Amino acid sequence: MTEKRPLTCRRIVVKIGTSSLIDAATGQIKLQTIDRLAFTLAALNHQGCDMVLVTSGAIGVGLTQQRLTERPSSIAEQQALAAVGQCELMRLYSQRFNDYDAQIGQLLLTHDVFDYPVSRTHVMDTIDALLAHQIIPVINENDSVAVDELDHRTTFGDNDQLSALVATQIGADLLIVLSDIDGLYDQDPRRHADARRLTTVHHLSEDILAGAAGSGSRLGTGGMVTKLKAAGHMMQAGAQMVLASGADPRIISHIIAGENVGTWFVQKAEVEQS
């Protein structure tokens, strides 16, 4: 018997990874995915939900724009690609959200913003003001300036961590992470045909953490480890997270309806109180 998912639609953060936005084989931008994402978030926004989008993809889109097939090793070259790609990514988002009568506002963040109380307060106030006007914040790490250098920490390392941090800071009820895998499995489904998707996780055991090996694609930086860290961050804050496939972002509506898709991360106590 599948556990019921008592999910709410008050304030939701959706994170989408580079692998869901860029075709790894061709390097082309998945325009249909962006369109479906905009359609779904706009529809929920019109229904009164506070929606926040955390997006990856700036460097991946930059690679496409510059007709490159490999991510450069130089930090400066990667940051230049991010600068180019972020412009195009936001152009596409702005176009698609506008098609569905929804406004968006861009925020590019570095870790320093959250490390210092004054800047953190200003960012939270900005997000609250956008949401109060039914404007969907579109958040990405500021890849053109974010680097780890000595004791000056600016980078999040991946947008899974950024999305969880944003979600907990703004008091979101739910974080939905859309990825190139449709959930957490008891073993690697690419190597084991009998791998079983875990529908619900109440506790991140050592076995689960130990099995989450591997990194992201050549275009992205996130892997299962970073997603589990994000899930742990949400659960510790008393909130929930769902990890699901980003192949078709309309799955968001199925998640909010409580359907058995992806993997639901929630503390047991939260389920019992619902």
**Residue 226, marked binder:** yes
Compute the C-alpha angle 47/52/105, nearest 5°. 100
Distance, in Å, from the CA atom of 43 to the CA atom of 178, rounded to the nearest integer, reads 18
Residue 222 annotated as part of some ligand binding site: yes
Is 205 marked as binding a ligand?
no
Q: Is 143 annotated as a binding residue?
A: yes
Number of compact structural domains in the chain: 1
Position 4 in a domain: no
The answer to whether position 40 is within a domain reads yes
The response to whether 225 counts as a known ligand-binding position is: yes
Kindly give the confidence (pLDDT) of every residue in the chain, 274 residues in length, as a single tens digit, with 9 standing for 90 and above: 456 676 767 999 999 999 999 998 899 999 999 999 999 999 999 999 999 999 999 999 999 999 998 888 888 898 999 999 999 999 999 999 999 999 999 999 988 888 889 999 999 999 999 999 999 999 999 877 766 543 445 556 689 999 999 999 999 999 999 999 899 998 888 888 888 999 999 998 877 877 665 544 444 445 788 999 999 999 999 999 999 999 999 999 999 999 999 999 999 765 555 4
Residue 5 counted as domain residue: no
CA torsion through residues 224, 266, 161, 16, sign = positive
* CATH number of the domain bearing residue 114: 3.40.1160.10
Domain encompassing residue 236: 11-273
Q: What does DSSP assign to residue 66?
A: T
Please indicate, yes or no, if residue 36 is contained in any of the structural domains: yes
The answer as to whether 161 is a domain residue is yes
The answer on whether 51 is annotated among ligand-binding residues is no
Whether 223 has a binding-site annotation, put simply, is yes
Domain assignment present for residue 3? The answer is no
Is 227 marked within a binding site?
yes
Is 224 annotated to bind a ligand? Reply is yes
pTM of the model: 0.90
Residue with tokens 């195009």: 88
271 annotated to a ligand binding site:
no
90 a known binding residue? no
- Is residue 2 in some structural domain? no
Q: Does 90 fall in a domain?
A: yes
